[in-house]
């Protein structure tokens, strides 16, 4: 790696690590209902919103906690309402204001896929935003769901932490009364008001200062140097860009996403966007450590995430800097020169270079963001394998807002179980026994994504309807179909291109139905892999919340004996990484071999 690449990576990690403790502490205070620096400004709107929602309260005025079933029902009902409203808005955009180019609605199947995508925090796009959606659809539809879906993930993560952290003495007497995980509606409001809105506002101002577009003016027509006329789309970009990245959503206002100068014009804006993506997923590890009474627990999770992230970044950067076999066979130079970063620059912006593109795309594929500043389909075979591995881990290497942490806690339970089997001791987490019920649920949560991905990949490449959506062949074609299933099955949204669900039917029944098939298959997959793990993790949290745990010294954490497998040590971090790699490797290794690995050994350019 070049010195510039190392410096860029080091600066990004330094900023994220410096922000993790204070932001994590802030999140802990927000969701504990404590006073924060923004309370004088936001406490009034919070009370007004909760009063309008008619939240149940105790005699002292505090919200009534929900058990895990009630919390899960609230998540599902809110998400269903969000889905219905967004679908209606997208279908009616042709008769709504804020549509300077008189765009009509997209086909119903594309709208189904788009609605499912944004409600699930996936933001997979089978369309070009600037030529398909009106301003009102972008602002009041997609941008609102960027806030709502991120807030749902954040609320669920906090509820899961509460379940794990709840502690009572072994002789406590409260019968079989379910232990509450908090109120979803309170958590949702606080996530939006105190976390997502203020940070997004500041980020949008910074991005506008860097040249990111923000206007309600319609497209403009310009004359090029060759004398031709070109229509340039414009719109309210910066406001959507900020929450798209902070909420790990990823859906771009423009078709080329963060490669577009109107979305990401400078090296500094590129760095700011990467910081926004990693900020909340990293900070939640510190929040977890504070809420369970052991900050080392949070640092252990962060260390495991950072170690895997570093490996992937280094591999991707070296692969793209080295170039593809086809480039070397053609005698093309991939060495860095004055004014050029060198490497494989196909599909990349010169202002970011090979290293900047590899870093950005790794950041957004280990999280559930999916935004890209270059064409993933033009990466080398080994370079494109890196984002696939990031997706294959279940996006727990930082992961999405909330979803990354509760996904990682699934693997923590599995690592604790395996560690307990190795030492011959009953598995424990935070002083509570991890029993058969929790392990069965954890396995269901961990395997739901691989099952959905492999089934949808098989249908995409093994049926005549699925093959209609794939315009490429060979290892590249398989990689595109597999990546589409991985991306939608991990609520990510990035793509290798090629695999589509929005083209004009070719006049045959297979072609017309094939496009609808891709839309429905992907939309259904996104819904399942978003909400099934949420219900499973809330069930685990409810089960763990009801367990008795001995309290440690000072009553601030669980008691730890000499035989306890410590979950706040480097040894456990290594075990946790091994479990994540083992599950991902055993599940997806054959698919990796058929796609990007084979491609990296060929002389094909793409």
Query: Does residue 509 belong to any structural domain of this protein?
Result: yes
Confirm if 490 and 533 have CB atoms less than 8 A apart.
no
User: What pLDDT does residue 383 have?
Assistant: 86
User: What pLDDT does residue 563 have?
Assistant: 58
Query: Does residue 238 belong to any structural domain of this protein?
Result: no
β-partners of residue 232 are 220
What mean pLDDT comes out for the span 446-457? 92
Query: Does residue 357 belong to any structural domain of this protein?
Result: no
What mean pLDDT comes out for the span 384-393? 89
Q: Tens of pLDDT along 104-158?
A: 888 898 999 999 999 999 998 888 888 888 888 999 999 999 999 999 999 999 9
User: What pLDDT does residue 177 have?
Assistant: 53
Query: Is 227 buried (19+), middle (13-18) or exposed (0-12) by CB count in 10 A?
Result: exposed
More confident residue, 84 or 342: 84
Stretch among 206-220, 424-438, 543-557 having the lowest mean pLDDT: 543-557
Let me know the angle formed at the C-alpha of 145 by 258 and 81, rounded to the nearest 5 degrees.
Answer: 155
* φ, ψ of residue 229 in degrees (nearest 5): -95, 135
Query: Does residue 354 belong to any structural domain of this protein?
Result: no
Query: Which parts of 210-254 fold into alpha helices (H)?
Result: 237-246
Distance from the Cα of residue 276 to its chain's centroid: 12
Which pLDDT band, with edges at 50, 70 and 90, does 266 fall under?
Answer: very high
Give kind and range of the element (H or E) at residue 230. Answer: strand 229-232
Confirm if 125 and 370 have CB atoms less than 8 A apart.
no
Query: Does residue 471 belong to any structural domain of this protein?
Result: yes
Query: Does residue 39 belong to any structural domain of this protein?
Result: no
Query: Which parts of 323-402 fold into alpha helices (H)?
Result: 325-329, 353-366, 381-392
Q: Tens of pLDDT along 235-249?
A: 899 999 999 999 999
Give kind and range of the element (H or E) at residue 222. Answer: strand 220-223
pLDDT at 558 over 60: no
pLDDT at 343 over 70: yes
Count: domains in the chain: 1
Percent of the chain with pLDDT strictly greater than 70: 91
Stretch among 67-81, 271-285, 421-435, 506-520 having the lowest mean pLDDT: 506-520
Q: Tens of pLDDT along 571-597?
A: 999 999 999 998 877 889 888 888 888
Query: DSSP secondary structure string, 537-567?
Result: HHHHHHHHHTS---B-GGGSSB---TT---S
Q: Could you tell me the two tokens for 329?
A: 């066979």
Query: Does residue 444 belong to any structural domain of this protein?
Result: yes
Confirm if 596 and 388 have CB atoms less than 8 A apart.
yes
β-partners of residue 230 are 222
Q: How far is CA 274 from CA 15, 157, 289, 362, 428, in A?
A: 10, 22, 24, 10, 36
User: What pLDDT does residue 2 have?
Assistant: 82
* φ, ψ of residue 230 in degrees (nearest 5): -130, 135
Distance from the Cα of residue 116 to its chain's centroid: 15
Q: Could you tell me the two tokens for 504?
A: 């004009």
* φ, ψ of residue 34 in degrees (nearest 5): -85, 165
pLDDT at 604 over 80: no
How far is the C-alpha of 13 from the C-alpha of 407, rounded, in Å? 22
Q: Note down the domain range covering 505.
A: 403-549+564-600
In whole numbers, what is the pLDDT of the chain averaged over residues?
Answer: 86
What mean pLDDT comes out for the span 347-351? 87
Query: Does residue 508 belong to any structural domain of this protein?
Result: yes
* φ, ψ of residue 98 in degrees (nearest 5): 70, 40
Q: Tens of pLDDT along 467-526?
A: 777 777 778 788 888 998 999 999 998 888 777 765 444 444 444 555 788 889 999 999
* φ, ψ of residue 568 in degrees (nearest 5): -125, 35
User: What pLDDT does residue 168 have?
Assistant: 57
What mean pLDDT comes out for the span 257-283? 94
């Amino acid at each position: 790696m070049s010195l510039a690449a190392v410096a860029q990576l080091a600066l990004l990690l330094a900023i994220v690590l410096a922000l993790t403790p204070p932001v994590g502490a802030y999140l802990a205070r927000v969701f504990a209902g404590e006073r924060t620096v923004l309370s004088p400004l936001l406490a009034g709107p919070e009370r007004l919103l909760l009063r309008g929602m008619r939240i149940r309260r105790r005699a002292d005025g505090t919200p009534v906690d929900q058990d895990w079933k009630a919390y899960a029902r609230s998540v599902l009902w809110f998400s269903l309402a969000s889905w219905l409203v967004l679908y209606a808005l997208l279908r009616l955009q042709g008769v709504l204001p804020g549509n300077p180019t008189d765009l009509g609605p997209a086909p119903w199947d594309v709208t189904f896929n788009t609605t499912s995508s944004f409600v699930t925090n996936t933001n997979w796009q089978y369309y070009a935003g600037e030529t398909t959606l009106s301003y009102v659809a972008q602002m009041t539809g997609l941008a609102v769901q960027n806030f709502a879906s991120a807030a749902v993930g954040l609320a669920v993560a906090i509820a899961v932490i509460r379940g794990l952290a709840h502690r009572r003495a072994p002789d406590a007497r409260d019968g079989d009364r379910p232990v509450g995980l908090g109120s979803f509606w309170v958590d949702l409001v606080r996530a939006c008001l105190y976390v997502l809105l203020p940070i997004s506002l500041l980020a949008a101002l910074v991005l506008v200062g860097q040249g990111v577009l923000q206007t309600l003016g319609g497209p403009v027509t310009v004359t090029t140097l060759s004398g031709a006329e070109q229509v340039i789309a414009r719109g309210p970009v910066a406001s959507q860009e900020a929450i798209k990245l902070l909420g790990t959503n990823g859906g771009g206002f423009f078709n080329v996403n963060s490669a577009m100068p109107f979305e990401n014009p400078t090296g500094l804006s590129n760095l700011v966007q990467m910081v926004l993506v990693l900020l909340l997923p990293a900070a939640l590890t510190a929040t977890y450590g504070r809420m369970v009474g052991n900050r080392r627990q949070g640092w252990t999770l962060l260390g495991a995430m950072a170690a895997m992230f570093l490996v992937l970044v280094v591999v991707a950067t070296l692969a793209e800097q080295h170039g593809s076999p086809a480039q070397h066979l053609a005698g093309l130079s991939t060495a860095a020169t004055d004014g050029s970063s060198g490497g494989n620059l196909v599909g990349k912006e010169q202002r970011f270079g090979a290293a900047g593109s590899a870093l950005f795309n790794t950041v957004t594929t280990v999280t559930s963001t999916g935004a890209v500043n270059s064409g993933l389909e033009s990466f080398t075979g080994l370079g494109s394998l890196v984002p696939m591995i990031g997706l294959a881990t279940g996006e727990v290497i930082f992961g999405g807002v909330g979803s990354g942490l509760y996904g990682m806690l699934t693997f923590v339970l599995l690592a604790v179980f395996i560690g307990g089997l190795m030492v011959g001791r009953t598995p424990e987490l935070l002083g509570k026994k991890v029993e058969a019920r929790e392990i069965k649920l954890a396995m269901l949560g961990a395997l739901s994504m691989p099952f959905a991905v492999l089934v949808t990949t098989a249908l995409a490449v093994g049926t005549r309807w699925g093959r209609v959506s794939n315009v490429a062949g060979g290892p590249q074609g398989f990689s595109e179909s597999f990546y589409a299933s991985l991306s939608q099955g991990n609520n990510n949204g990035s793509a290798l291109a090629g695999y589509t669900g929005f083209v004009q039917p070719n006049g045959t029944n297979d072609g017309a139905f094939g496009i609808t098939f891709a839309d429905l298959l992907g939309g259904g997959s996104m819904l399942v892999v978003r909400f099934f793990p949420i219900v499973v993790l809330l069930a685990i949290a409810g089960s763990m919340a009801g367990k008795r745990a001995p309290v440690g010294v000072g009553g601030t954490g669980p008691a730890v004996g000499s035989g306890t497998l410590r979950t706040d040590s480097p040894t456990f971090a290594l075990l946790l990484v091994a479990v994540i790699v083992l599950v991902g490797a055993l599940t997806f290794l054959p698919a990796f071999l058929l796609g990007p690995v084979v491609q990296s050994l060929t002389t094909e350019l793409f």
